[in-house]
Amino acid sequence: MFQSAGISVPEEWQPEAPYSIAQAKQMTLDLLTLDQRPKAILCGNDVIAQGALFAAQRIGLQVPQDLSIMGIGDFKGSADTEPGLSTVRIPAGRIGQMAGSHFSSYVTSEDRGLFRFKCNLSLVQRGTTASVTR
């Protein structure tokens, strides 16, 4: 994603965190104590983003002034963090319905092909992201 936009992200800034606030917090603490730390973190989901937010707050960083954090999913509680978590809203209900429909077709017919569909995503900007300045 970033490479296609001509953005190079250092390997040490690309950790993978499991679906755990505590583990994401620890991984982010490790990331934020590097000699050179990022100014923004894009997390794979809102749970990991909450861990990143807690890590930043633990070491005294101001979010979003010192560090912007973005999640994905717009999970319950994301608007209630302090500051509110910026995120990408996905149509999870629609995705689930499509997957269920295609799975039942897969089980009951001979058609075993892959399927793809596009869905609309929404940016939900709250308090964890700063405006971009160049």
Among 38-42, 102-106, 119-123, name the one with the lowest average pLDDT.
102-106
Mean pLDDT score of the chain, rounded to an integer? 89
Q: Kindly give the pairing relationship between strand 86-89 and strand 122-124.
A: antiparallel
Q: What is the mean pLDDT of residues 38-52?
A: 95
Q: What is the pLDDT of residues 54-99, one digit of tens each?
A: 999 999 999 999 999 999 999 999 999 999 999 999 998 888 888 8
Residue 52 has pLDDT above 70, yes or no: yes
Angle at 97 between CA 77 and CA 84, to 5 degrees: 15
Q: Residue 134: pLDDT above 60?
A: no
